[in-house]
Structure 1
Amino acid sequence: MWSWQRLVRPAAVVAALLVEPVLVGGPVAAAGCDQPPSAIYVPACGAWQGVAPDVQTLAEFESTIGQRAQIYHEFLTFQSHDSPTKPFPKPAAREAIDGGRMYLFNLKPRNSAGTIYPWADVASGGHDGELHALMANIAQWAATAGGRKVFLAFHHEPEDDVGAYGTAADYVAAYRHLVDLAVADGVRGSLIFVWDMTGYQRRVHEWNELYPGDGYVDWLGYDPYGGLCTGTGAPGGLATTLGGTGPGVDDSSEYRFYAWATGAGARDADGSVWAKPGDPGKPIMLAEWATKGADGGSEADQVQFYRDAERLVVEQGRYPQIKAFVHWQGSECNAFVGRPAAAQAYHDLVATPYFNPPLPYPAAGGQ
């Protein structure tokens, strides 16, 4: 176990971070943790922290929290890189990678106009032209990337889209087809596949139906929120949001994915109990997480949420299989733009040694 000390900055300094695009200081290295991550970027200790920026750019987010993100998250469609004239990755992602950050992208089966590509069509090869072009672009990037890899999540939160895109079996077939195509095109070694669910309690039974199998999944993911911008209730606490971690079945939390994923089992709304098939030890990623602030929840709610993360995740080690926390800096209620106390609380969390294990690669040129 390592020890760490909370970093405290005066309010005036935090306020300056909200407007100054220059980072103050660097990350605190994890004391006693000098082992590199695994081949699929699982840290040997602690966890990564990252961001899916929306209302801010990556640089603005990092300035707001006074800390570098380790994962940069984008949302793409099948048309994002479907020709040689659309090289992979896009400029913002390339800059993030070259700066030493890891890259996570969600690949949604639709075109840029929002037209749905049914999972069955993807599985049957109906969109192989676009996917082969994507893989060719990834291969071209990988040839000069020095062994770097990227995280790929195919159709995040598919529970929301069963019916509109097809059946759960169609989703599994489409997911497997994408992985098989990456193998056939020689880029599987450059991709780390993330299977990303919403994680809601009422969908426990769907996870077994949607799971492609351990051979097709490197990381598990889910997207827990302490409060949604559209929700009318008070924001939930962190333990309720992330789910139960005890040895028994989780029947108390709104999000029960953690207990499902780690083999303890999660209770569905009808009382049935489900657990992940296969390996219960796969790394878990919060591909999105946040809690609402101003719209329906106060800044104090956000502060408490991130302070609870320090207590439960860092100090108590209650979620050891969550190896990446990627913040959704999206809609105004979840972002902490203009909320210096919330930004300070988040900074204090991600500046701990727990969230600063050794990175898988340096910045381009070794900087």
Structure 2
Amino acid sequence: MKNVKSITVTTSLIFVLAFAACKKSGTQNSSPDEQTVALSAGRGVPLVPASGALLGHYYGNGTITETDARIGRRPAIHLTYYSWTDHWSKSIPTKQDLAEGRIPLINWEPYNVKFKDIVSGKYDTQIRLQADEAKAIGRQFFLDFAAEMNGDEAWGDHNPDLYVKTFRHIHDIFIARGATNAVWVWCPNNADEPGTPAVMQYYPGNAYVDWVGADGYNWGTSDSDDEWETFYQVFEDIYSKISVTGKPMMIGEMASDEIGGDKAKWISQIVPTLKEKFPAIKAVVWFDVVKERHWQINSSQTTLNAYRAMAKNPYFN
């Protein structure tokens, strides 16, 4: 989604609840360290749940308290957005997420910076500082750099070779500085921008990526150029392309409009589709905000009821 950071600053600064991760016994209120162990147990990739998938949220439609009251539970992942020079490891949202047991999903957006300058080393001092700050927090978190590179965000001007070099350059600095708690997410758009290189040309490689992902939306029929798509239809094509990496997958952003179909039904199909069609998807994040469309989970009462039921499904617990 374009220009998200402008709507993130206020809503992402308000935190008043704690996320309680499930212990092996099935009880709640495990510590943050226990949460990480439980999520990573028996897996070669960090933060992969032992079963089912993690539910995440972008809080653009009210405070965390208000939103979680609507949902009826506490999502495991909190999506926030930061610009190129932001010190996201030291931000209030990141600190409170870590203190309260949520997993930060840092969407790092390199606006107003040329990728060739990153690769040349021009920003290495800044990147080293950000890596050191990330290491200092001492906890695992998701780091999603330059998402939707194959879409209209066009990071690196749709130059896959430059994008890959940039991603690897930043990754290598983090590793060299010991910031191994950053869990690297590569998250393209669910569809390529017309006339641009195919999505997998942007893939940095398995040695540089921990999770693969995709952002996708059902745009409804508010625009005559769009048509209603089910949850399966939104992600069917990109799933088949990126699942070949063998990495756990994340839906980094998703939502549906109300116009053109049954949004409540759209939501009710998510868990069955994950189970039957998309087993590699281990996390999904809802983009809860009124923006280009009515993406919010309470755009109608029937929609909210469907979302609450989905969020309480054992697959997300």
TM over 0.5: yes
Q: Alpha-carbon deviation of 1:92? A: 2.2
Partner deviation per Cα, 1:84-135 (whole Å, 9 max, x = no partner): xxx724212322222211111111113xxxxx21111111111222212211
> Is 2:250 the counterpart of 1:285?
yes
Aligned residues of 2:46 and 2:183 also touching (Cα < 8 A):
yes
Match of 2:34 in 1: none
> Residue 320 of structure 1: SS of its match in structure 2?
coil
Q: Of 296, 308, 321, which residue of structure 1 is paired with 2:280?
A: 321
The equivalences for 1:231-270 within 5 A come to 231-232=223-224, 233-243=226-236, 256-263=237-244
Match of 1:330 in 2: 289
Q: Alpha-carbon deviation of 1:208? A: 2.2
Match of 1:54 in 2: 60
Q: Alpha-carbon deviation of 1:57? A: 3.0
Q: Of 183, 196, 203, which residue of structure 1 is paired with 2:187?
A: 196
Aligned residues of 2:256 and 2:263 also touching (Cα < 8 A):
yes
Larger Rg computed on CA atoms = 1
Match of 1:95 in 2: 96
Where do 5+ consecutive residues of structure 2 fail to align?
1-14, 27-36
Q: Of 329, 332, 353, which residue of structure 1 is paired with 2:314?
A: 353
Match of 1:72 in 2: 78
> Residue 199 of structure 1: SS of its match in structure 2?
coil
Match of 2:105 in 1: 104
Amino acid at match of 2:142: F
2-structure distance, mates of 1:201, 1:30: 41
Q: 1:136 to 1:91 in 2, by over 3 A?
A: same
Partner deviation per Cα, 1:134-193 (whole Å, 9 max, x = no partner): 112212222xxxxx2011011010112447646211111100001000011111x21100
> Is 2:134 the counterpart of 1:138?
yes
Q: 1:134 to 1:231 in 2, by over 3 A?
A: farther
Q: 1:139 to 1:30 in 2, by over 3 A?
A: closer
> Residue 156 of structure 1: SS of its match in structure 2?
coil
Q: 1:64 to 1:307 in 2, by over 3 A?
A: same
2-structure distance, mates of 1:197, 1:60: 30
2-structure distance, mates of 1:40, 1:163: 26
Amino acid at match of 1:49: L
- The share of aligned pairs that are identical, in percent, is 25
Q: 1:182 to 1:57 in 2, by over 3 A?
A: same
Q: Of 302, 310, 319, which residue of structure 1 is paired with 2:263?
A: 302
Higher RCO (C-alpha under 8 Å, 6+ residues apart): 1
> Residue 68 of structure 2: SS of its match in structure 1?
helix
2-structure distance, mates of 1:205, 1:165: 11
Q: 1:117 to 1:303 in 2, by over 3 A?
A: same
2-structure distance, mates of 1:132, 1:228: 43
CA RMSD of superposed structures (Å): 2.9
Q: Alpha-carbon deviation of 1:347? A: 1.4
Aligned residues of 1:76 and 1:105 also touching (Cα < 8 A):
yes
Aligned residues of 1:56 and 1:329 also touching (Cα < 8 A):
no
Match of 2:203 in 1: 211
Aligned residues of 2:61 and 2:67 also touching (Cα < 8 A):
no
Q: 1:335 to 1:163 in 2, by over 3 A?
A: closer
Partner deviation per Cα, 1:296-340 (whole Å, 9 max, x = no partner): 346xx22011111133235xx321000000101122511133522
2-structure distance, mates of 1:76, 1:182: 17
Q: 1:225 to 1:129 in 2, by over 3 A?
A: same
* TM superposition score normalised by structure 1: 0.70
